[in-house]
């Protein structure tokens, strides 16, 4: 379950029908939701070399290929959902 302030923030964005500026924003939003608003965990995840990305840190991939990073984050999050929430 997300922090109440994060739920309110994401709900407000939905109500305003805000278009995300770019893929980098979506990556950060997904990570904030996954880590329940803990920015320190998001920053650590972005800075830690990942073997699934060839031992580069996701932040580097985000800068060079934001679309690929977004796809990686979305796929990883989908694979880590509890079975009852998967489609």
Q: How many domains does the chain have?
A: 1
Compute the chain's Rg from CA coordinates.
13
How confident is the model over 14-45, as pLDDT tens digits? Answer: 665 555 567 888 888 888 888 888 889 999 99
Contact 53, 61 (CB under 8 A): yes
Boundaries of domain holding 31: 4-85
Q: Report the C-alpha gap between 42 and 77 in whole angstroms.
A: 13
Contact 36, 6 (CB under 8 A): yes
6 compared with 1, residue with greater pLDDT: 6
How confident is the model over 69-79, as pLDDT tens digits? Answer: 889 988 988 88
């Amino acid at each position: 379950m997300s922090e109440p302030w994060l739920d309110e923030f994401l709900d407000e964005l939905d109500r305003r029908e805000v278009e995300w500026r770019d893929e980098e924003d979506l990556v950060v939003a997904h990570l904030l939701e996954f880590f329940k608003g803990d920015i320190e965990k998001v920053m650590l995840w972005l800075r830690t070399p990942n073997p699934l990305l060839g031992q580069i840190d996701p932040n580097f991939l985000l800068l060079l290929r934001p679309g690929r990073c977004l796809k990686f984050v979305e796929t990883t999050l989908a694979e880590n959902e509890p079975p009852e929430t998967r489609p």
